[in-house]
Amino acid sequence: MQIDPEDFKRHYAMLSDAALLEIDRDELVDVARACYDAELAERNLAAEESQASATAAGTTAGQADGDLQLVGTFLSMDEANFARGLLQSADVPCSLENELSAGFSATGALRLLVPASAYDRACEILDAEISEEDLIAQAEAEAREESRES
């Protein structure tokens, strides 16, 4: 699934100032980060305000979830999206580090990252054996979703 930068722009435009500032910029992919920065600039908000409010609450985003840790490296977008979907369906926050960057084509690999606090659970989910029926059901669900989006 290819994400259009306009999707990020629309999403950030709909958020309140407070909600926008709650976003951890470091967790965004490059395209989302650029759109986020543009929205902050348009509203005359500073990213430092976001960090300052997190610090005032007694924590920073890095301390709240810990550092990001690598739970998987994938050679195809389909494999990476499948693993990400498994984690997201289990409410495990995750991101593909280089899905929209030149790094994917240069290294030939996509890196799936999770907060340190979710690392063990993510590993359990990804290491669990997946039956062929589950794989077929996942593929069918994705196909139905793509046909609805078209």
Q: In whole angstroms, what separates CA 50 from the centre of its chain?
A: 19
Q: Which letter does DSSP use for residue 97 in this model?
A: T
Which pTM does this prediction carry? 0.44
Name the one residue in this structure whose structure tokens are 């709650």: 22
Q: What is the pLDDT of residues 48-103, one digit of tens each?
A: 444 444 444 433 333 344 578 889 888 888 888 888 888 888 888 888 876 655 44
Pick the CATH number of 66-149 from 3.30.70.1530, 1.10.600.10, 3.20.20.70, 3.40.50.300: 3.30.70.1530
* Domain segments of the chain as ranges: 5-63, 66-149
Element spanning 88, H or E: helix 77-89
Distance CA 145, CA 32 (A): 23
How many whole angstroms separate alpha carbon 107 and alpha carbon 23? 28
Q: Which residue is associated with the tokens 């054996």?
A: 129
